[in-house]
Amino acid sequence: MPFKKGQPRPANAGRKKGTANRATAEVKAALVETFDRLGGVDFLATWAKDNPGEFLKLWVKLLPTEVRNADGEPFKVARVTEVVVRTREEAKAFLARTTIARE
């Protein structure tokens, strides 16, 4: 029996929290099958070597935006102890925009 406006929803109505709708689930399944047909991880590794910039764009989307400790609190960076620069110009640019406490 369909839900009628103004009436309370029946218990357990609708999808469970976190369950993808059918279209999303079908698209994900198709992507997994295509990935397997193309060669799986070996194909991805080859593609990543040929397209490192594109691969890294995908990779950063998979990284968590916030890391939490065992208590569920977000980690806070209290102090950076090392900065790596590749050129003298990068070092100058970093120092120009940063105040570093001397130890």
**What backbone torsions phi and psi does residue 6 show, to the nearest 5 degrees?**
95, -15
Helix (H) or strand (E) holding 66: none
Q: Is 72 in contact with 64 (CB distance < 8 Å)? A: no
In a domain, 31, yes or no: yes
Q: How many domains does the chain have?
A: 1
Instruction: Say whether pLDDT at 34 is over 90.
Output: yes
Answer yes or no: is 1 within a domain.
no
Q: Is 59's pLDDT higher than 80? A: yes
Confidence (pLDDT) at 103: 42
Instruction: Return all residues near 46 (Cβ < 8 A) that are at least 6 apart.
Output: 39
What whole-number distance in Å separates Cα of residue 43 and Cα of residue 50? 11
Give the domain range for residue 45. 22-97
| Per-residue pLDDT tens digits for 66-97 | 778 888 888 776 776 777 888 988 888 888 88
In a domain, 41, yes or no: yes
pLDDT of residue 47: 95
Q: Could you identify the residue written with the tokens 């357990």?
A: 12
pLDDT of residue 99: 63
